[in-house]
Amino acid sequence: MTSAPIEVLITLALNDSLLNQLRGISPRINITAIPAARAIDIPAETWARTEILYTAYILPEPSQVPALKWVQFHFAGIDRFLEEPLLNKSGLSITTLSGAAASQVGEHILAMLLALSHRLPAVLASQKKAEWPKDRFERFSPVELRGKTAGIVGYGSIGRQVARLLQPFGVNVLATKRDAMHPADTGYTPENLGDPDGDLVYRLYPARALRSMLRECDFIIITVPLTESTSGLIDESIFNALRPGALLVDVSRGGVVNQAALMNALKNGNLAGAALDVFPEEPLPASSPLWALPNLIITPHISGNSPHYNERGVLLFSENIHRYLAGLPLYNLFDPQRGY
């Protein structure tokens, strides 16, 4: 007796090689790929028979998808979709791509730490003026990574990859984790990446001990999702508790770091420098005073950008399809109580 086919709808543009990779998972998998800009671009009969939806932005109304059992998002952060009616559909599993972008985001964080610690913004400003400063040794004196302490706020897939990258530099890694008593990573971890067993962090702190951890840190790396509990998490009280000369890199979500408090910290010296990839309003308005800060690096939400992103996303989606067929728990299940 042949089991009924599993109808999978993909609403983003994937090349034939990746689509064939998914089709080869099982003869039960029937892939329909319709790159679309709006839900209305998908035929009603396609929505009606879809059991698994792989999507970036397009979500149907619950009444359109009576057979839908699982939505796989193409991104790690889905806070922008939390008010969508579909996410409240009874019995629906929702998964994210958390972990798929850990490699490139980890490299971005490392690049920002090196740029800030080796005074690249000031060096490039000097280059633009064709200036060879007489006080170059003092002006461009680096903060070497070796022997310093980094505090990772949120020890998920990205934080764990950063810990891995910092090991050869001799950086002591501290981190906060919602469940600090269980250091192992139970989520999706690509081979040879991250810190699956939690061995690379010197000490894990519970979230409530954030300020205590950051008092010990020369570098602060923000990787938590945006939830009710993390909104405005990095505020004036946190900046006031930092070591003099601390550097901050934020790749989390706009709203985790209080921007007014950040600006004050950069101006008054509580922070020596920062690199931001995320902002409460994106694109960042040209009128924002952040653009004028000489000790701030601004990148336009590109830390997860990679020519291999679709390939890595499909790899995770494939792992989840295998688990779906086997009746195993899916990787990266969204938990409404946690908000991620």
* Cα 301-302-303 angle, rounded to 5 deg: 105
- Percentage of the chain modeled with pLDDT above 70: 99
Closest by Cα among 23, 156, 146, 35 to 101:
156
Which tens digits make up the pLDDT trace of 308-340?
999 999 999 999 999 999 999 999 999 988 889
Phi, psi dihedral angles at 320 (to 5 degrees): -70, -35
What b/e readout covers 188-211, taking b as 16+ CB neighbours within 10 angstroms? bbbeebbbeebebbeebbebeebe
Closest by Cα among 183, 210, 181 to 197:
183
2.60.210.10, 3.40.50.720, 3.40.470.10, 1.10.10.60: which CATH number matches 102-298? 3.40.50.720
Q: Sketch the domain layout of the chain as residue ranges.
A: 6-100+307-326, 102-298
Q: Which of 169-173, 226-230, 276-280 has the lowest mean pLDDT?
A: 226-230
For domain 6-100+307-326, give the CATH number. Answer: 3.40.50.720
- Asked whether the domain spanning 102-298 has the same topology as the one spanning 6-100+307-326, the reply is yes
Q: Using alpha carbons only, how large is the chain's radius of gyration in Å?
A: 22
Give the pTM.
0.95
Closest by Cα among 173, 184, 117, 176 to 145:
117
The CA distance from 250 to 258, in Å, is: 11
Give the pLDDT confidence score for residue 2 in this predicted structure: 55
Which tens digits make up the pLDDT trace of 13-37?
999 999 999 999 999 999 999 999 9
